[in-house]
Amino acid sequence: MVFRHKLTSKKGAPIMMVRNLNPDLGLCNGTRLRIVELNPHVIHATITTGERQGQHMLIPRIVFISDGEARKFPFRLRRSFRFNLPSR
Strands (E), 1-88: 14-17, 32-38, 42-47, 56-60, 62-63, 71-72, 75-77
Q: How confident is the model at residue 1 (pLDDT cuts 50, 70, 90)?
A: very low
Residue 12: name the closest of 62, 71, 78 by CA.
Answer: 78
Q: How confident is the model at residue 83 (pLDDT cuts 50, 70, 90)?
A: low
Radius of gyration of the chain from its Cα atoms, rounded to whole angstroms: 14
Q: What are 17-33's pLDDT values in tens digits? A: 888 888 898 888 889 99
Q: What are 44-71's pLDDT values in tens digits? A: 999 998 889 999 999 888 776 655 555 5
pLDDT in the model for residue 5: 60
Say if pTM beats, i.e. exceeds, 0.75: no
Number of Cβ within a 10 Å radius of residue 27: 21
